[in-house]
């Protein structure tokens, strides 16, 4: 009987990880425990839960828009790598009404969102591009991208992978943006982002790095915004 009680207590203990319930302790890695620990203390994660956003990433876009005030009613906007959809939620709440067009693109499906046209697929593929043109025949006012590669823990590798995705997103923006349009993308810092910023000045009137308060201080994540698209030329 004593052994059974001890076994039961051990199982109950193993099911508890820092106040968050999971399946079994043996199935949770140390990195997962660190993640749970950080999330439980994170103000933006708690705010997202309270305010109905699908992830804390929502506040990054909110912060950037507070600084640059670039989201306007009536815009046509593409959200690249949109899953789980928190940036689309911000767009809906900021723009309000139904006179804007939001096109969300990702290989990963998302739960349906009102006023959001979801295209499942790779934004670099012709079939996705054709669907986008059907929804936004006059082009886009804004292209936003929160795409990130799967991280390896090796800073240089993650930076290179991030830059490759950013360059694809930029090419998409240069192809689809209207005059005076805006491009916003996430980057993992590593050095090459400075050269990208300089090259973007050929296409936009203003280009700047921004680190929103919602972006963790210890993260290599930073955002690059281009305002006032001049044309591909």
pLDDT at site 31: 54
Tell me, yes or no, whether 109 lies in a domain: yes
**Would residue 41 show up in a list of annotated catalytic residues for this protein?**
no
| Residue 195: domain span | 54-229
**Same domain? 130 vs 100:** yes
Tell me, yes or no, whether 49 lies in a domain: no
**Same domain? 36 vs 63:** no
pLDDT of the chain along its 233 residues, tens only? 445 444 444 444 443 333 333 333 445 565 555 544 554 458 999 999 999 999 999 999 999 999 999 999 999 999 999 999 999 999 999 998 778 999 999 999 999 999 999 999 999 999 999 999 999 999 999 999 999 877 667 777 888 888 999 999 999 999 999 999 999 999 988 888 899 999 999 999 999 999 999 998 888 899 999 999 999 87
Tell me, yes or no, whether 47 lies in a domain: no
**Same domain? 12 vs 73:** no
**Same domain? 195 vs 98:** yes
**Same domain? 72 vs 169:** yes
Residue of 23, 186, 211, 220 marked catalytic = 186
pLDDT at site 154: 79
CATH number at residue 132: 3.40.50.150
pLDDT at site 99: 87
**Same domain? 161 vs 65:** yes
**Same domain? 76 vs 177:** yes
**Same domain? 14 vs 111:** no
Tell me, yes or no, whether 152 lies in a domain: yes
**Same domain? 102 vs 201:** yes
Gyration radius from the chain CA atoms: 21
Tell me, yes or no, whether 127 lies in a domain: yes
> What total of structural domains would you count in the chain?
2
**Same domain? 130 vs 198:** yes
pLDDT at site 26: 47
């Amino acid at each position: 009987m004593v052994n059974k009680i001890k076994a039961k207590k051990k199982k109950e203990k193993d099911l508890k990880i820092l106040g968050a319930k999971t399946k079994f302790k043996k199935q949770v890695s140390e990195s997962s425990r660190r993640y749970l620990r950080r999330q439980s203390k994170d103000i933006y994660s708690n705010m997202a839960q309270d305010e109905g956003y699908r992830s804390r990433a929502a506040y990054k876009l909110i912060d950037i828009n507070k600084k640059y005030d670039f989201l306007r009613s009536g815009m046509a906007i593409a959200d690249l790598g949109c899953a789980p959809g928190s940036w689309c939620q911000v767009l809906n709440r900021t723009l309000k009404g139904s006179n804007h067009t939001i096109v969300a693109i990702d290989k990963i499906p998302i739960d349906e969102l009102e006023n959001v046209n979801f295209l499942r697929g790779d934004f670099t593929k012709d079939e996705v591009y054709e669907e986008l043109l059907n929804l936004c025949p006059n082009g886009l006012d804004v292209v936003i991208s929160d795409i990130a590669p799967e991280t390896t823990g090796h800073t240089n590798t993650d930076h290179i992978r991030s830059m490759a995705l950013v360059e694809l997103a930029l090419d998409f923006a240069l192809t689809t943006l209207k005059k005076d349009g805006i491009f916003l993308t996430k980057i993992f810092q590593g050095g090459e982002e400075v050269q990208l910023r300089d090259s973007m000045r050929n296409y936009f009137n203003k280009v700047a790095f921004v680190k929103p308060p919602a972006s963790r201080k210890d993260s290599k994540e930073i955002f690059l915004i281009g305002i006032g698209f001049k044309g591909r030329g």
